Amino acid sequence: MEIFGFEISRKKDELRATETPNASSFVPQVDDDGTPVISQQAGFIAGGAYGAYVDMEGGIKNEVELIRRYRETSLVPECDAAIEDIVNECITSDSADRIVTLDLRDLKLSDGIKKKIQDEFYTILSLMKFNQNSHEIFRKWYVDGRIYFHKVVDSKRLKQGIVDIRAIDPLKIKKVRNIEKDKKNGVEIIKKIEEFYVFNDKGFDKTGANEGATVKIAPEAVTYTTSGLLDFNKNAVIGYMHKALKTANQLSMMEDALVIYRLSRAPERRIFYIDVGNLPKAKAEQYLADVMNKYRNKLIYNADTGEIKDDRKHMSMLEDFWLPRREGGRGTEISTLPGGQNLAEIDDVEYFKKKLYQSLNVPSSRMESDNGFNMGKSSEISRDELKFNKFTNRLQKKFARVFTDILKTQLVLKEIVTGEEFDKYKDYIQYDFTADNHFTELKEQEILRERLDALQSASEYVGQYFSQEYVRKYILRQTEEDIKIIDDQIKAEKKAGIGQDDDDGGFSQY
């Protein structure tokens, strides 16, 4: 079997565990402390590249610029607050500091195999440092709309499994699909599809060109997961930030316009109408300038030093207006230009702020500081919060594809299962993220309470208008599998002496 470009076979001499692993990566180990990385390119010739030249033109040529716009928009304070709400709702931990757990109840495998899968899953979380960096990892995936991980393996000890998992900057890697076609009766038929990744240490520009060394990476060595959104017109992956780009720009422009208006319209200003009589134009302008210099404001306040000084060299945009008036008018006159009357109105800004939250699928009620947390019945929870809960659940399921791909590689390398077996059972593997707002728990408790109330009301009609099977299926909403499991549990508890008999009222016939 071949994987990662290597052949897996039995070796005569196993390497000792004390020997240094022969693991390498094209991504340097980088901590989140802003330390720059200086690396030497071994095995590359300056100006050249290892691998084939790839035409990156087409629908994804603006992918790099799009990711950069996402990152810039995420720094807008309102966007950052909305993103934090989303990430905090998706990523949280319980009292045991567990963020995500593996649910194998529906997996039809032996308990021994399930135990090994659970152990390898926790190994993967440890390699990813997920418990420590889960918030940053999930936020990067949400903002960029995609995430890449390099699965580092030891080429001489493949059965050891993955030895390291390193994040890759999406600006430096691209997924490429090479399709070979043949023509048959004038129709192009796909002959071969080859998928691989292209990594460039200098990154790709918005045209897809690159200046650094380019490496062709096998698809098995990289875990690639997107947000699941695709622009079919340009065949490009987009993120959830895409809808917020326009609204964030509009909000910034409205705030800038509001600041400019307040600065320019806040003070009152005087208007001087100066009677220049029949003076020629040049004389009239000279006379107007003399009057301005005589009566204009002379005191200047220096905000840096706090000093007030007499300076006539500067005339700000907030000073008085001087207008000439010809003979025959009303003569010299001084009037007042009032300041802005609606300086306190920010309805437009509030509108775009709510629109920004809506574009990110976050309830606008969360932007109100006086809106407390509701721990009441599920019927008291707003519809927006219900939609937001479903949205975060979808995000968790899409992000869980990272674990599925890495877990498959780990199990195949350690020969716990084969790739075909994993593909067969992967739909039965569930990932449970810890919930924070207990909304699901409150909803389930309320539903159960309503069903038990309905059962109590219908109990006196069982045997007359309702059968026991009808009550269990349509009032308690138990499936055939649930009924079988519950009956077996009741029999086992009675046999073990747990609980009470039917005559004592401990077990009902339902």
DSSP secondary structure string, 408-449?
HHHHHHTTSS-HHHHHHHGGG-EEEEPPSS-HHHHHHHHHHH
Residue 98 is encoded by which pair of tokens? 């567990």
Coil vs helix vs strand at 394: helix
Which helix (H) or strand (E) covers residue 2, if one does? Answer: strand 2-3
The CA distance from 128 to 165, in Å, is 6
Q: At what angle do helices 77-90 and 244-265 cross, to 10 degrees?
A: 140
Quick one: pLDDT band at residue 499, thresholds 50, 70, 90? low
The CA distance from 510 to 506, in Å, is 11
Look at residues 297, 296, 276 and name the one whose alpha carbon lies nearest to residue 285: 276
Coil vs helix vs strand at 72: helix
Residue 313 has pLDDT above 60, yes or no: no
Residue 157 has pLDDT above 80, yes or no: yes
Cα–Cα–Cα angle for 274, 275, 277, rounded to 5 degrees:
150
What is the predicted pLDDT for the residue at 25?
56
The CA distance from 320 to 289, in Å, is 13
Averaged pLDDT for residues 198-224: 77
Choice between 332 and 185, residue whose per-residue pLDDT is larger: 185
The CA distance from 282 to 298, in Å, is 25
The CA distance from 168 to 402, in Å, is 13
Tell me the average pLDDT of the chain: 76
The CA distance from 189 to 181, in Å, is 5
Averaged pLDDT for residues 162-184: 86
Look at residues 373, 387, 370 and name the one whose alpha carbon lies nearest to residue 438: 373
Kindly write down the DSSP assignment for every residue of 73-127, as one continuous string: HHTSHHHHHHHHHHHHHHS---TT---EEEE-TT--S-HHHHHHHHHHHHHHHHH
The CA distance from 390 to 456, in Å, is 32
498: DSSP letter: -
Quick one: pLDDT band at residue 508, thresholds 50, 70, 90? very low
What is the predicted pLDDT for the residue at 371?
57
Residue 177 is encoded by which pair of tokens? 């699909």
Averaged pLDDT for residues 332-357: 76
Coil vs helix vs strand at 6: strand
Contact 89, 439 (CB under 8 A): no
Whether the pTM exceeds 0.85: the reply is no
The CA distance from 470 to 461, in Å, is 12
Greatest mean pLDDT range, 238-252, 322-336, 380-394: 238-252
Kindly write down the DSSP assignment for every residue of 238-262, as one continuous string: E-TTTTHHHHHHHHHHHHHHHHHHH
The CA distance from 191 to 179, in Å, is 7
Look at residues 215, 217, 216 and name the one whose alpha carbon lies nearest to residue 41: 215
What is the predicted pLDDT for the residue at 1?
46
Number of Cβ atoms within 10 Å of the Cβ of 343? 12
Residue 205 has pLDDT above 90, yes or no: no
Number of Cβ atoms within 10 Å of the Cβ of 429? 19
Averaged pLDDT for residues 138-166: 91
Coil vs helix vs strand at 460: helix
Look at residues 2, 38, 4 and name the one whose alpha carbon lies nearest to residue 152: 4
Residue with the two structure tokens 């479903």: 390
Quick one: pLDDT band at residue 168, thresholds 50, 70, 90? very high
Q: Cα 143 vs. chain centroid, distance in angstroms?
A: 4
Domain boundaries, the chain: 2-243+375-437, 267-337, 441-504
Give Cα separations from 482 to 449, 451, 479, 487 (angstroms). Answer: 18, 16, 5, 8
